[in-house]
Structure 1
Amino acid sequence: MGLRTAQSSRGMGASLLLVGLAATLLSFVTGATLGAVKSPATPLQPLDQAALRVMSFNVRVNTASDGDDDWAHRRDLVPATIRFHQADVIGVQEAYRGMIDDMQQRLPGYRWFGVGTSDGKDDGACNPVFWRESRLELVTAETIWLSRTPDSPSTGWDGAYPRTATHVVLREIADGAEFHVFNAHFDHEGEQARLESARLLAARVKALAPDARAILMGDFNCNEHSAPLQTLTRDAQLRDARDVSSTPHYGPTGSFTGFAGPQYAGAWLDHIFVRNLVVQQHGILPDHFDGRLPSDHFPVLAEILLQ
């Protein structure tokens, strides 16, 4: 458990003709390969170099039942996605300790905090928060069980499994600006558990100082119109980063695909909420590697200014 240490005119005409034919062929092949993917296959680019790039990423548990999509085939893809999109803070869900070790090995320059949901140590899925240590430092950290006994390992209400939210306070090394990060994973079966989890976290955020900067992200297993997410926006004055981004949303509208492929479909279960923060960009990233997806969820990325 805990904190771990965790890139002649005749000749010219013939050349131009060859270039044109190559470009046409490349365009044809690219279109045939990408199929339904219509957005440019490029990462979001910083509008402001001071912006903080925040990612929520459900990386899917390690289970042999996934066959060719099990963790052994994805352990390089998840860190590669994080590195390519230059995330500064990552809220990860469904990561067992061995998966975290794999990620840490492939993500030099990041540190993390989190505990297993089952015992508060290393047993059970973990929802760790990673941060770039060249830019940020840890101030405080805690784990909140989403249950009637939030300070100890437990299953809440009608939930199928123990669920947690990891809460860290991070500080910008350059200017000392601090902000709260909550990384949560709501239950996939318990309707009451999801609603009560939202109430619990809304109360935690509401209890912060009025001017405190806060990010709440994760896999909420419900959409933007559901009672749990409405509770977060109503009771804690949180706003979905997609709704308040100063530029249009990038990518598909859904974040869960179940390994179905990089098409723009699926439920929007993964969100990044903010309070007292400016959002420059928001995207859901349908990255894939020769058709293989890093996870059964697309990562969600928001570019944020600490103002």
Structure 2
Amino acid sequence: MRVVSWNLRFDSQPDAIDVEDSLKNIPDPLEAPKFMGKKGEQPWSIRRIRVAQELGSNIVIAAFQEALKRQVTDLAKLLGDEWEWVGVGRDDGREGGEYGPIFYNKCHFELLEWDTFWLSETPFTPSRYPGAGSYRIATVARFATKGNPDADKKCFTFINTHLDERSEDQRKLGASLLLHRCHYEASVRKEPVFVVGDFNSEQEGRDSGAYRVLTGADSPVAVPAEFRAKFEFPPGSHPHFKMLDLRAETPRVNVTGFFRTFTGFIERLGWGGGGRIDYILGSSAGGWSSNRYETPNVTYDDGVMASDHRPVYATIRLD
């Protein structure tokens, strides 16, 4: 299955242009594109068509970050009737604020269950960690594959998140909550589990805490007792459990594209600015392998960038 995680950049320049108008204004594909001379961020009404075109038709799960309700409904229209999605607005658990939606192709998967928790000290109610810049959530979906006899169905859990841009303490707590939930899924369900999203955390350096907690380099911080109790797993199950970075778990010849995932709407080649903060991780308990990992560019001939982040794709096999 080919999956993608992509921070879309929230709809910061809203307008009244609907999807149908954008589709009507797609230029003739046989005409050479003209460079628009525009720099930096463009409105979502321009960028959304580029997002849909980049995603194409060969993905089966798409996780987005920073998507406001309009962006979620636009993508539902653009992806088509084969797709469904789950998620809530992070500010109120309904439609307020940014979503962390998980889109899935109904032809390939059956949704078994889904839920949301907040990456805070009160994870089961809409809440913000003290000192964090925003409310932060994780969207959790459990799927079963379709198209095979029941005996051959594969089940797995897929988690989408966006950690805080301001607070390193929030990122460490968020990573610890995510790691605990993944450990529960792997131990109790005995199925593969994946975490994707924008961690706002580098692999190393001052702000690397979340990445290091999830990948086992640093110990997790204590998670709230109510969370630990709800997602309790047997003592000693999967000792040294951690999440594995699929970029490192993929055959090197099949790791393509860019290292850096954040661009800030600036075309960045070589080093300087930006960073790798968007990831796809899989549980160390196994049940999966990664065959390809891609971070393509999303700047087009006319100069428009689809987002200030590059999408991250992985092609995963469920064993």
TM tier relative to shorter chain: 0.7 to 0.9
Aligned to 2:196: 217
* Partner residue of 1:193 out of 164, 170, 175: 170
Aligned to 2:311: 299
CA distance in 2, matches of 1:181, 1:214: 6
CA 1:264–1:168: 2 relative to 1, 3 Å: farther
CA 1:264–1:56: 2 relative to 1, 3 Å: farther
Alignment of 1:88-237 (within 5 A): 88-108=60-80, 109-175=82-148, 176-210=153-187, 211-225=190-204, 226-234=208-216, 236-237=241-242
Aligned amino acid, residue 60 of structure 1: R
Question: Do 1:254 and 1:264's aligned partners in 2 also have CA atoms closer than 8 Å?
Answer: no
Gaps of 5+ in 1: 1-51
Question: Do 1:262 and 1:288's aligned partners in 2 also have CA atoms closer than 8 Å?
Answer: no
Does residue 261 (structure 1) correspond to residue 254 (structure 2)? The answer is: no
CA 1:58–1:122: 2 relative to 1, 3 Å: same
TM-score if structure 2 supplies the norm length? 0.77
Aligned amino acid, residue 238 of structure 1: M
1:96-142 Cα deviation digits (max 9, x unpaired): 00111111110012110000001111110000000111111100000
CA distance in 1, matches of 2:299, 2:112: 35
CA distance in 1, matches of 2:245, 2:41: 34
CA 1:264–1:126: 2 relative to 1, 3 Å: farther
CA 1:67–1:282: 2 relative to 1, 3 Å: closer
Q: Secondary structure at the match of 2:56?
A: helix
Does residue 79 (structure 1) correspond to residue 52 (structure 2)? The answer is: yes
Gaps of 5+ in 2: 15-38, 217-239
Aligned to 1:18: none
1:24-47 Cα deviation digits (max 9, x unpaired): xxxxxxxxxxxxxxxxxxxxxxxx
* Partner residue of 1:240 out of 241, 245, 249: 245
Aligned amino acid, residue 280 of structure 1: N
Aligned amino acid, residue 107 of structure 1: L
Question: Do 2:290 and 2:315's aligned partners in 1 also have CA atoms closer than 8 Å?
Answer: yes
CA distance in 2, matches of 1:216, 1:236: 14
CA 1:68–1:298: 2 relative to 1, 3 Å: closer
1:65-105 Cα deviation digits (max 9, x unpaired): 99751212111111111125x21111100000011111111
Does residue 57 (structure 1) correspond to residue 65 (structure 2)? The answer is: no
CA 1:251–1:209: 2 relative to 1, 3 Å: closer
Larger Rg: 1
Question: Do 2:257 and 2:294's aligned partners in 1 also have CA atoms closer than 8 Å?
Answer: yes
Question: Do 1:56 and 1:90's aligned partners in 2 also have CA atoms closer than 8 Å?
Answer: yes
CA 1:80–1:198: 2 relative to 1, 3 Å: same
Question: Do 2:298 and 2:307's aligned partners in 1 also have CA atoms closer than 8 Å?
Answer: no
Aligned to 1:41: none
CA distance in 2, matches of 1:179, 1:237: 16
TM-score if structure 1 supplies the norm length? 0.79
More moved, 223-232 vs 178-187:
223-232
User: Once the 2 structures are TM-superposed, how far is the Cα of residue 208 of structure 1 from its aligned partner?
Assistant: 2.0
Q: Secondary structure at the match of 1:208?
A: helix
Q: Secondary structure at the match of 1:195?
A: helix
Question: Do 2:142 and 2:157's aligned partners in 1 also have CA atoms closer than 8 Å?
Answer: yes
CA distance in 1, matches of 2:91, 2:154: 34
Aligned amino acid, residue 257 of structure 1: T
Aligned to 2:291: 280
Question: Do 2:186 and 2:193's aligned partners in 1 also have CA atoms closer than 8 Å?
Answer: no
